[in-house]
Amino acid sequence: MEHHIISLGAGIQSTDLLLRGLDGAFDKIPTQAIFSDTGNEPKGVYRYLDWLINYVDKEYNFTIDVVSSGTIYKDALSYMNGERKRYEGVPYYTRNPITGKKGILRRQCTADYKIRPVRKRIREVTSKGDSISLWLGISYDEMQRMKASNVRYLTHRFPLIEKRIRRIDCINNFKAKNIPVPIRSSCIICPYHSDKYWIWIYQNEPDNFDAAVTLDEKIRNYPKIQGECYLHRSCRPLKEVIIDLIKGKELASKQLNIFPELIEECDGLCGI
Ligand code: SF4
């Protein structure tokens, strides 16, 4: 049996991939779309996802499957409080207070919270010997993000790249269909956010920004790490940095934009 499954991040590219796929823009029609919920997306992403679930149900009689392996924020706090043994794997920035040397922790969160739940669901709905193609919403202008599957039972496919569809084409497609354009999808607490994105969270979702600040303050004494951890690349308290930025101060160490503004979502490959 053939499966054509979309890894849905609910950002611009993967949502466009789903809609184009259901409209028959590619040689196959998607058989399933799976969204892996880290429990820590901006409210705007959840609002959009709810809208999209209803839209594709009504327009295409298609069901979006939402899976999860837990809430990354809650798990991060539980690990810090000693209530959870397994670390959440977020790539926090580190700074040795004596030498001043900076670093970054190994990223495990993408695998645990984005990739694993999707693959688990795929294994549940497929049988041994089935042909499984996992469609990833990477546009032509982001083709450097393409990665082959590292498991034998499924292959990755990049239909937007095959058709040379760019991010702007995706946006234009939403406009042509007269439907809302999604906002960027990624965890609120993601250390890869650009300053621009942190400011967006501060201004648009203040309670989520406060929650990120709470975690940022908690991770100073991260277990088994020599030095202090931070959500912001400058290795300064998040609140202080963002307030300085808003007041227009230049930052000594600008937040490296690992998620360049054109990369909209942690779709299981997390942009790097
Ligand atoms: S968005 Fe960031 S924090 Fe969330 S899973 Fe991806 S890399 Fe990890």
Q: Which residue has the tokens 């809302």?
A: 180
C-beta of 38 in contact with ligand 1 (< 6 A)? yes
Q: For the residues 127-136, what does the mean pLDDT come to?
A: 96
Closest CA to 137 of 124, 120, 118: 118
Domains, the chain, ranges and CATH? 2-268 (3.40.50)
Measure the CA dihedral 267/152/163/194, to 10°.
Answer: 20
138 and 161 Cβ atoms separated by less than 8 Å:
yes
Question: How do residues 36-46 score in pLDDT, each as one tens digit?
Answer: 999 999 999 99
* pLDDT over 90, % of the chain: 82
Closest CA to 142 of 174, 166, 114, 169: 166
Closest CA to 149 of 190, 200, 115, 199: 115
Q: Which residue has the tokens 């277990």?
A: 223
Residue 199 Rama label (left phi>0; alpha psi -120 to 50; beta): alpha
Q: Which residue has the tokens 């901006």?
A: 42
pLDDT for res 272:
33
The sign of the dihedral angle between the CA atoms of 191, 192, 193, 194 is positive
- Phi/psi of residue 27, each to 5°? -70, -15
Helices (H), the chain: 12-22, 43-60, 72-80, 109, 116-125, 159-162, 167-177, 195-204, 206-218, 238-246
Q: How far apart are CA 200 and CA 28, in angstroms?
A: 37
Q: 0.85 cut: is pTM over it?
A: yes
Q: Probe ligand 1: pick from 110, 115, 198, 256, max atoms within 8 Å of CB? A: 110
Closest CA to 93 of 244, 212, 222, 267: 222
Question: How do residues 58-96 score in pLDDT, each as one tens digit?
Answer: 999 999 999 999 999 999 999 999 999 988 899 999 999
Q: For the residues 118-136, what does the mean pLDDT come to?
A: 96
Which residue's CA lies nearest to atom 2 of ligand 1?
190
| pLDDT above 70 for 260 | no
Total Cβ atoms within 10 A of residue 176: 9
C-beta of 113 in contact with ligand 1 (< 6 A)? yes
Instruction: Indicate the SS3 state at residue 115.
Output: helix
pLDDT band per the 50, 70, 90 thresholds, residue 243 = very high
C-alpha 93 – ligand 1 centre gap (Å): 13
Which residue's CA lies nearest to atom 5 of ligand 1?
110
Q: How far apart are CA 109 and CA 2, in angstroms?
A: 29
C-alpha 156 – ligand 1 centre gap (Å): 20
Question: How do residues 189-209 score in pLDDT, each as one tens digit?
Answer: 999 999 999 999 999 999 999
Closest CA to 71 of 22, 26, 29, 109: 109
Total Cβ atoms within 10 A of residue 23: 13
69 and 39 Cβ atoms separated by less than 8 Å:
no
What pairing do the DSSP bridges indicate for beta strands 155-157 and 131-136?
A: parallel
